[in-house]
Structure 1
């Protein structure tokens, strides 16, 4: 009777040890999973931050390009105005000379 009882006790102890070991392993796995999740979250956050920064840079570039383009357009329009003004003056000058010339011819 005693021997059997002892064997049963040993079996129970072994079973408990196995359970404890299993629980430890499970706890480690859970911890690893949690750490992985945390890493993923931080990675996501970092990626989000990078994305925001990239978008800011792109937006700034677009604005700069827009400003430059507007500036160039303005300069071009001013140059065209000046050119038109010059051409008009020259044309008027030419017309005046023509008129004077025709008047002179009419007189003689």
Structure 2
């Protein structure tokens, strides 16, 4: 489901037949949510899929602070690619060093 509670497939279906939409994606989700979300986006739309997860840390709205460990691991990119992602990156609290490592990890996998 989306953060608004809508089934993900319904959200992606909005973009499926839109000729001006050249790619769909998932952004600012926990890294563990990426494979299922990417697979859904690919299945519903058939378009290239973007995966930009956040660090995986939790947000404590009462303390107004991030909590828990980072769960963004560039090595997970192989799972994201296998699920159908074609464009990878990171969102909230993913560091430039994480993106540099991501590039190192996926470059050999790109034909």
Same fold (TM over 0.5): no
Q: TM-score, normalised by structure 1?
A: 0.16
Higher helix proportion (structure 1 or 2): 1
Higher strand share: 2
Please report the TM-score for the alignment, with normalisation by the length of structure 2: 0.15
Larger radius of gyration: 1
- Higher normalized contact order (CA 8 Å, seq sep 6+, divided by chain length): 2
